[in-house]
Amino acid sequence: MLKRSLLLCSFFIAGCSAQPKSAFVANFENMCAYPVEISVHEYSNGKEPFSPGQKLDSGESIEVLSQITFSDSIEQSVPPGYRLDIVARGKSIVLDKARFLAQLAHSPIERKGRGITIWRVRDMALCP
C-alpha cells in the first residue's frame, strides 16, 4: 500500500512539473530623434526589478516586459499593475496594462521555439 501511494505521488509530482511554460518578452525601441527615459512597474516575475529612469538614446532598445507563466495568454500574464513610463523633453507617455497590450497588438512578433514570444515595440507615436 505504501509503495502504491509513493508511486502515485511521484506520477502526480512529475505531471505537475511537466506542465508547459510560456515566456513573454517585450523590447522597447526608441524611435524618437532624441533620448528618452524609461521606467517600468511590475516588469518581470523572474528577474530583478527594473531600475527606474533608464536613459535610452535614439535607436537603442531595452527589455520592458519579461513574464514566465503557465498560461498561453499574454492578457492573463501581464500583471494588473503593469505600467510603462516614457519621459522626454518635460513630457511623458504612460502605458498602463490595457494600453500596453493594445500597443503589443500592433508590434512585430518573433516566436522562438514553442513557448517564447518576443515583441518589438517600435512606434513613433510613443515619442513624448
Cell numbers found for residue 73: 495568454
33-51 per-position pLDDT tens digit: 999 999 999 999 989 888 9
Q: Which amino acid is at 48?
A: E
The stretch 119-128 carries a mean pLDDT of 96
Q: Is the pLDDT of residue 10 over 50?
A: no
pLDDT tier for residue 17 given thresholds of 50, 70 and 90: low
The pLDDT, as a whole number, for residue 18 is 63
Q: What are phi and psi of 100, to 5 degrees?
A: -65, -45
Name which of 53, 32, 29, 31 is nearest 41 in CA terms: 53
Task: Determine whether 76 is exposed, middle or buried from the number of CB atoms within 10 Å of its CB (0-12, 13-18, 19+).
Answer: exposed
35-93 per-position pLDDT tens digit: 999 999 999 998 988 899 999 999 999 999 999 999 889 999 999 999 999 999 999 99
Query: pTM, whole model, 2 decimals?
Result: 0.81
